[in-house]
Chains A and B, each alone.
Chain A
Amino acid sequence: MGELLFLGLIIVIVCSAFWVVISPNLVHSATSLLITLFGVAGLYVFLYADFLAATQIVIYVGGILVLIIFGVMLTNKIDKPVIVANSSNKIIGLFISGFIFSMLSIIVLQTPWNINPDSSQGPSTVELIGHLILGKYLLPFELISILLLAALTGSAMLARKKIDDPLPISDDLSKEKKIDNDITKENLDNKEKEGDTNG
């Protein structure tokens, strides 16, 4: 039963990943990426990584994929019925990726991996991960939180609308504006006087 489920999971992951890469419709690509990420979360369950599976679903499927779909929708004209994603360089890409895949497969199959014989399920991973994050990996954890904050504020600043005429910041600027206003007032007054004399 478990073997069958595992096989089905691998087939689902591989097929949806292929469709992500070769689909001509961008929305179909995003949807198959959703299926791929769910399949990878199931793979984590088979690897006894329950916390990672939940994190994968919450962050990847709930966060990153929604962000990507936002990107798809925001960067296309809304009256297009099908969002097209063309491919080019197919032969070069096939050659390079096939080469990398064959090299990696040879390496994977020929290396004598040092496998630990005791591979039964251990205790729950949540407690151990918590101890590791707040103990051994405290500094990288804090650093990555700062990095995430910087990246999110930076991207919000990049993506927002530009303000056309900014407000005067210093006193000098406001004084200049006042002078400009005075000049225009004088011009208006002169014009009115001219109009009076003409009339």
Chain B
Amino acid sequence: MDNLQIYLLLSSLLFSLGIYAVISRQNAVAILMGIELMLNSANINFIAFNRFTSNLNHLDGHVFSIFIIVLAAAEAAVALAIIINLFKNIGTVNVNEASELKG
């Protein structure tokens, strides 16, 4: 509980699970979920380092993780718009079948 390494190990586990999802999943929405997992692990790292290695009145890590959350929201919105367009155009969200540049 008061150990920095536990948080870092948990966040690296979440990060590698996100990498696994991005590599192995075929559905584009599932890949998006993997990316969200990776962003969350980065957030855990920021807040854990802020809690354990800085002074009490310095909360820069919290501000950075707020920025990361906002970026995740923007990224999710744009990615879902692209995925919905993909589904309208080729009728599937399987990333292996979306292999044409224009079509």
A-B contact count (CB 8 A): 229
- Whether A118 pairs with B77 at a CB distance below 8 angstroms is no
Q: How far is the CB of A58 from chain B (nearest CB, A)?
A: 10
Write the chain A residue with the least CB distance to B12: A104
Instruction: List CB contacts (< 8 Å) of A67-109 with chain B.
Output: 67-68, 70-72, 74-76, 85-90, 92-94, 96-98, 100-101, 104-105, 108-109
CA of A131 to CA of B40 in the docked complex: distance in angstroms? 24
Q: Does A55 contact B (CB under 8 A)?
A: yes
- Whether A17 pairs with B14 at a CB distance below 8 angstroms is yes
Evaluate whether A88 and B63 lie within 8 angstroms (CB atoms) in the complex, with A20-B17, A43-B7 already known: no
Q: How far is the CB of B9 from chain A (nearest CB, A)?
A: 6
Q: How far is the CB of B68 from chain A (nearest CB, A)?
A: 10
Q: How far is the CB of B87 from chain A (nearest CB, A)?
A: 4
- Whether A116 pairs with B52 at a CB distance below 8 angstroms is yes
Evaluate whether A96 and B19 lie within 8 angstroms (CB atoms) in the complex, with A68-B76, A85-B25 already known: yes
Q: How far is the CB of B92 from chain A (nearest CB, A)?
A: 8
- Whether A151 pairs with B56 at a CB distance below 8 angstroms is no
Write the chain A residue with the least CB distance to B27: A85
Q: How far is the CB of B74 from chain A (nearest CB, A)?
A: 4
Question: Which A residues lie within 8 Å of B25 (CB)?
Answer: 21, 85, 87
Write the chain B residue with the least CB distance to A147: B74
